[in-house]
Amino acid sequence: MRTLAFLKKTFLENLREWKILILALAFAPLFVYLMYAYFRASAPAYRLLVINQDGPQAPGVAHQADDFASGLIQAWRAARHPDGRPVFTVSESRDLEAAEASLRSRDADLLVVVPAGFSQSLADYHDHKTEKPARIANHGDEGNLRASMAMAMSDYIAFSYVALATNSTSPLELDIRRVGSGRPLSEFDLYVPALLVLAIIMVMFTAAASLIKEVDKGTMSRLMLSRLSTAELLAAVSANQVLIGVATLALAFGAAWSVGYRASGSLVTMLLVGAVSTLGVIALSVLVAAFLDSIYELLTVGCFPFFILMFFSESMMPLPKVTVFHLAGHAVYANDVLPTSLTVRAFGRILNHGAGLAEVWFELAGILVLTALYYWLGAALFARRHCRAR
């Protein structure tokens, strides 16, 4: 009964402090939209300049109706990523000097010069009149990292187009065996699981604040005099914060869904793992709260554990995998001391690869073990420092 009474108290206090609650609930969904906009803006189509020196009606061309140069340019224009975005934005130019100036100023990523006689060369090759290959010339700035990728993509499309246009057989056959879900994943899709974990990490502030404000306001002593045990106190706070964590997780996923993300796995499985992971973050919050005495300290010193969780859980960027040991056929990495690191991997397998609970049992077991460990340590330190009637 004391647990339920304190749960009601903390729940009503969260509603009264609606500004903090709204910020906690809205941060992760807004960050999803921000990262979606970033990925859309940071990976535009490669800017391809083309100087076409070939003519479709050159004298002596065996296939007068075939303008292979224009066909190649059209192939570059038509190339698409799996999500439908164009690979290139193609612009044609006639001035070589101006085109190379665009490369130096990074207004273009790659310049391709299609020389005169290109169509004639392909027509002769098609009719077995010559074995001499047709040529195109790539111009790129070696200081521009995008130039290399643009060149690789444009060359691949050119090879494919020429092979089709001349009915040529490649001397190499590729055997492609798909091992993934088969669903094309954009960079944003791959990043969504980490963004969802960021929603769970936000609970660190609200959970720690629920504990620290009792110390800051001096009401912790009265709670102890009411015979509310440390276990009952933490159980009430944890239940309340799990509700906030799951709600934030659902809102963040809704934000991702609204911009086109679709999960391959079960949302119920994701929410279950998310609820367990929220308990892990709350356990860390209890450990942090054991060393703080005021809300001011939480907003200053408490930011460091938050950023540690955010960066070392790979919620912001991937980290090098430092393997510590192997257990039950699974690698255990250095940052797996954080339950949210395991959550990122579990969410990735559930949402992007359709894994169920049976496939993420190792990560789930790790989260539970770490949660129990941090709860035990945090509760002992918090009770020793703050849960004494004065």
Contact 33, 56 (CB under 8 A): no
Q: What band does 62 get if pLDDT is binned at 50, 70 and 90?
A: very low
**283 closest CA partner among 367, 365, 357:** 367
The pLDDT score that the predictor gives to residue 58 is: 46
Is the residue at 155 inside a domain? yes
Distance CA 190, CA 90 (A): 28
The answer on pLDDT for 88 being more than 60 is yes
When divided into structural domains, the chain yields a total of: 2
- Answer yes or no: do 53 and 18 share one domain: no
Residues 195 and 342 in one domain: yes
For residues 369 and 308, state if they share a domain.
yes
**175 domain-assigned:** no
d(CA 269, CA 305): 27
Average pLDDT of every residue of the chain? 84
* 332 DSSP β-pair partners: 325
Q: CA Rg, the chain, in Å?
A: 30
Task: Specify the CATH number for the domain of residue 142.
Answer: 3.40.1710
The mean pLDDT value for 32-38 works out to: 88
Residue pointed to by tokens 């005495």? 293
Task: State which of 98, 131, 165 marks the end of a domain.
Answer: 165
Of 165, 192, 219, which residue is a domain's last?
Answer: 165
- pLDDT value, residue 56: 53
Cβ proximity of 243 and 198 under 8 Å: no
Domain co-membership, 251 together with 374 = yes
Asked if residue 2 lies in contact with residue 226, where contact means CB atoms within 8 angstroms, the answer is yes
Q: What is the pLDDT of residues 206-249, one digit of tens each?
A: 888 888 887 777 776 666 666 777 778 888 888 889 999 999 99
Structure tokens at 281: 């973050």
Banded model confidence at residue 6, pLDDT cuts 50, 70, 90: low
What is the arithmetic mean of pLDDT over 47-55?
88
Domain limit, last residue, from 132, 165, 198:
165
* Interstrand relation of 46-52 and 88-92 (parallel, antiparallel or unpaired): parallel
pTM confidence score: 0.75
Within a domain: 156: yes
Are 26 and 92 within one domain?
A: no
8 A C-beta contact, residue 252 and residue 199: yes
Question: What pLDDT does 183 receive?
Answer: 65
Kindly state whether residues 338 and 254 are assigned to the same domain.
yes
Question: pLDDT by residue (tens digit) across 282-322?
Answer: 999 999 988 888 888 887 887 888 888 888 888 877 788 88
Is 273 in the same domain as 379? Answer: yes
Percent of the chain with pLDDT over 70: 87
- 242: buried, middle or exposed (CB in 10 Å: 19+, 13-18, 0-12)? buried
Percent of the chain predicted with pLDDT > 90: 30
* Residues 144 and 216 occupy one common structural domain: no
pLDDT at 334 over 70: yes
Its domain, for residue 332, covers 2-39+183-385
Q: Does residue 30 sit in the same domain as residue 93?
A: no
